[in-house]
Chain A
Amino acid sequence: MSVIAADRKQARDQKRASDQKLTKAVAGSDRRFAVIAHGLLILWSVIVILPMLWVLVSSFKTTKEILSSPFALPKHWQFDNYSRAWSDASIGKYFLNSVIVVVCALVLVMLLGAMCAYVLARFQFPGRRLIYYVMLAGLTFPVFLAIVPLFFQLQNFGLLNTRPGLILTYVAFALPFTMFFLYAFFRSLPHDVYEAALIDGAGDWRAFFQVMLPMARPGMAAVAIFNFLGLWNQFLLPVALNTDQDKWVLTQGMAAYASSQAYGIDYGALFAAIVVTVVPVLIVYVIFQRRIAGSVSQGTFR
């Protein structure tokens, strides 16, 4: 410990010395750097926030107000834009559909992904590397290549336009990402706890569910967040494979509602619908944002 303390002191002294040595020119350029950095960040924040704020304000305006000026605040805050959006765009229904499909797919893909990653990371058997690399290839190929055969594949199984069909496809396409992320994670878990579990008489099943899976919780949380965002925002798969309007997910419903509004009938309700779609996820994000930042840094472990 004392060696470290001495090292630290030495480092501090060095720093002080180097700070004094810092020429005026460098200090000046650093100030310029800080100014540019601040400028860039403020500019980008404005570019990000402004459209969202505009959508929020516009969602309380009448269509006439929206068409007359993009800046003016609403004269009367039109809350019935929201009730119209809710009933006309059937947001409630699509929202529920999205929740059902995404939650089921998320639970399944986390479980299957963890299982697969665990076996690949922890056991030696013939074909291990082959499975690993084939899944890697699946991650880089465009979904569009598979979309037409996938359509008929689901039709053959009688799963086209059904929730289980959509859920299974979500699971299949989220599986490689989940597997890779957790693969690195399971490899890094210590081995002695596992050995101890085996000595205590746990079989492979119990060792996984009672020992290894709980230890992998931080990694699981990180992947789950990204899978959630990815699946919640999924558009192509439902548009191609889930064409029954009663089973539409939110992204589909919004796209259809917007195109039905293409001739500018009810802008207020369209903006309200956008707000209703975005706000819940945005709130969840702000609550969990620390964890997301953390999980991205774990993601770079791969």
Chain B
Amino acid sequence: MKDKTTISDTASSRPVPAARGGRPRRRKLTFDRVTFFLAFLGLPVAIFVIFVLYPFAQAIFWAMTNWRGFSPDYDFIGLDNFVKMFQDDVFLKALRNVALLAAFVPLVTLTLALGVAVAITLGGPSKGPVRGIKGASFYRIVSFFPYVVPAIIVGLIWAQMYDPNAGLVNGILSGLGLDGFKEFAWLGEQATAMPALMFVIVWGLVGFYAVLFIAAIKGVPAELYEAARIDGAGRFRMTISVTLPAIRDSVQTAYIYLGIAALDAFVYVQAMLPGGGPNNSTLTISQRLFNVAFAKQQFGLATAMGVVLAVVTLVFAALVFAVNRLTGGGESEGRKEARGLKARRAVAKGGAQ
């Protein structure tokens, strides 16, 4: 991703080398320029500060108060909200639930999305250059469908699919002779509610990431595949040794975005399990926060939960970065060079034959 930007940067600045990164400041501050800056920078930044940045900052302060919203009085209570939260079994359960979501949803979604993307781009006929599979655009369009459907509707559709009596899931399973699933309440049993929820989130998100990875895979230089082919690698080997390392940074970015989505999951749980699921087994922090804030009016406590959610998100992102680094990822200069060298060597080797 990064090197592509640099390529286009240098390409655009080639005609005017001095122009890179903005024009040299040679003009005086005219009326035109002042109004221009005020409108172009001032307006967007003001909206961002008022509606995004300031609320975030306020949240951190309110998290340390016992404010209940509609009266102006509040006491500063330090970390009491956090202490209270971590003594609250329901909140701890919610924390555990979102940890499960963050652990499984990105992993499963990305595995499936990568599978779909690789199948579409590399599954073509094995003679000649690596080509896409037959019907590639059909598969691409279909797998993107769920992303176009609003998440709330995805939840509602699957709430009906999981219906114990009239749902299609039990209909198919009992139709296959699995009578145990007749009237099985997927969302009503503690053992299945969470996996069922995870499946729905995965269903809704795979398509988007598959399309993202298709684009990334198409950006992999063709000579890398040529080189691998000349070295006698089959499609499996190419996927593991060429494709995956090449799109590694896209995967990292996707992992973080998916983690943020999974830690939230509010829309899906509100649509399918608004009450928190059997024995709170699918209650999320976001749901708990929403109820504590807007039903119980404990705004201080609610914002404190928001702070915990933000911290969990940051820890998750840091973990993804760390894992990618430790396993040899991250676009270091050495790696890029090595990759380029490998490609050149491969081409040279091919030329010699």
Contacts and interface: CB of A to CB of B under 8 A. Distances in A.
Chain A CB within 10 Å, residue with most, of B19, B156, B256, B294: B156
B45 interface: yes
A258 B145 contact: no
B234 A33 contact: yes
Interface string B31-63: 011011101110111011011111110110010
B286 A144 contact: yes
B155 to A, nearest CB: 9
A49 B5 contact: no
A20 B249 CA distance: 35
Contact of A254 (B36, B156, B161): B156
Contacts of A205: 32, 35-36
Contacts of A169: 51
B157 interface: yes
Contact of B15 (A116, A192, A297): A192
A175 B41 CA distance: 12
B47 A112 contact: yes
A54 to B, nearest CB: 5
Given A34-B126, A192-B16, A233-B150, A45 B40 contact: no
Contacts of B140: 289, 293
Contact of B351 (A14, A168, A173, A286): A14
A149 B54 contact: yes
- Which secondary structure dominates where chain A touches chain B? helix
Nearest to B142: A45
A168 B171 CA distance: 46
Given A34-B126, A38-B133, A258-B159, A191 B306 contact: no
A208 interface: yes
A23 B215 CA distance: 30
A239 B274 CA distance: 14
Contacts of B274: 259
Contact of B160 (A250, A271, A281): A271
Given A48-B145, A274-B153, A187 B161 contact: no
A15 B43 contact: no
A67 B166 contact: yes
Contacts of A302: 1, 5
A100 interface: no
B81 to A, nearest CB: 12
Interface string B54-87: 1110110010000001000000000000000000
B15 A235 contact: no
Contacts of B37: 119, 125
Interface in A34-74: 34, 36-38, 40-41, 44-45, 47-52, 54-55, 58, 66-71
Interface size class, chain A: 35 or more
Interface in B180-226: 203, 206-207, 211-212, 214-216, 218-219, 226
A232 interface: yes
Interface in A96-128: 112-113, 115-116, 118-125
27 contacts: A11-B350, A14-B353, A15-B129, A22-B229, A26-B232, A31-B126, A34-B123, A34-B125, A34-B126, A37-B118, A41-B123, A41-B135, A45-B139, A48-B146, A68-B166, A70-B171, A135-B48, A142-B260, A142-B309, A144-B264, A187-B5, A208-B40, A235-B152, A240-B294, A296-B214, A299-B215, A301-B5
Nearest 5 CB-CB pairs, A to B? Answer: A37-B123, A297-B215, A172-B51, A30-B126, A37-B119
Interface of A: 10-11, 14-15, 17-19, 21-23, 25-27, 29-31, 33-34, 36-38, 40-41, 44-45, 47-52, 54-55, 58, 66-71, 112-113, 115-116, 118-125, 131, 134-135, 138, 140-153, 168-169, 171-173, 175-176, 179, 184, 187-192, 194-195, 203-205, 208, 229, 232-233, 235-236, 239-240, 250-251, 254-255, 258-259, 267, 270-271, 274, 277-278, 281-282, 285-286, 289, 292-293, 296-297, 299-302
Given A68-B166, A118-B40, A119-B40, 20 more contacts: A10-B351, A40-B119, A44-B206, A45-B142, A54-B168, A55-B160, A70-B171, A138-B56, A142-B263, A150-B55, A152-B69, A153-B50, A153-B58, A169-B51, A188-B11, A240-B290, A240-B294, A251-B152, A296-B212, A300-B1
